[in-house]
Amino acid sequence: GKGLAVFTSGGDSQGMNAAVRAVVRMGIYLGCKVFFIKEGYQGMIDGGEYIVEANWSSVSSIIHKGGTVIGSARCKEFMEKLGRRKAAKNLIMRGITNLVVIGGDGSLTGANMFRQEWSEHVESLRESGEITEEQYKKFNYLHIAGLVGSIDNDFCGTDMTIGTDSALHRIQEAIDAIVSTAYSHQRTFILEVMGRHCGYLALVSALTSEADYVFIPEMPPPHDWPEKLCKKLDQERIAGQRLNIIIVSEGAVDREGHPITAEQVKKVVVDKLKQDTRITVLGHVQRGGSPSAFDRVLGCRMGAEAVMALMEATPETDACVISLDGNQAVRLNLMDCVNKTKAVAKAMADKEWDLAVQLRGRS
14 touches ligand ADP by CB under 6 A:
no
SS3 string of the chain? Answer: CCEEEEEECCCCCCCHHHHHHHHHHHHHHCCCEEEEECCHHHHHHHCHHHEEECCHHHHCCCCCCCCCCCCCCCCCHHHCHHHHHHHHHHHHHCCEEEEEEEECHHHHHHHHHHHHHHHHHHHHHHHCCCCCHHHHHHCCCCEEEEEEEECCCCCCCCCCCEEHHHHHHHHHHHHHHHHHHHHHHCCEEEEEECCCCCCHHHHHHHHHCCCCEEECCCCCCCCCHHHHHHHHHHHHHHCCCCCEEEEEECCCECCCCCECCHHHHHHHHHHHHCCCEEEEECHHHHHCCCCCHHHHHHHHHHHHHHHHHHHHCCCCCCCEEEEEECCEEEEEEHHHHHHHHHHHHHHHHCCCHHHHHHHHCCC
Residue number of the CB atom closest to ligand ADP: 106
43 touches ligand ADP by CB under 6 A:
no
103 touches ligand ADP by CB under 6 A:
yes
Closer by beta carbon to ligand ADP, 44 or else 214 = 44
110 touches ligand ADP by CB under 6 A:
yes
Q: In the set 23, 34, 37, 75, which binds ligand ADP (CB under 6 A)?
A: 75
Q: Is 295 a catalytic residue?
A: no
- Segment contacting ligand ADP by CB under 6 A, of 4-12, 21-29, 91-99, 180-188: 4-12
9 touches ligand ADP by CB under 6 A:
yes
Closer by beta carbon to ligand ADP, 71 or else 103 = 103
Q: Binding pattern to ligand ADP, positions 76-95, x when CB under 6 A? A: --xx----------------
109 touches ligand ADP by CB under 6 A:
yes
Given 46, 105, 152, 212, the catalytic residue: 152
Closer by beta carbon to ligand ADP, 30 or else 73 = 73
Q: In the set 3, 7, 10, 309, which binds ligand ADP (CB under 6 A)?
A: 10
341 touches ligand ADP by CB under 6 A:
no
| Active-site amino acid positions | 152
Residues near ligand ADP (CB under 6 A) are: 9-11, 41, 74-75, 78-79, 103-107, 109-110, 113
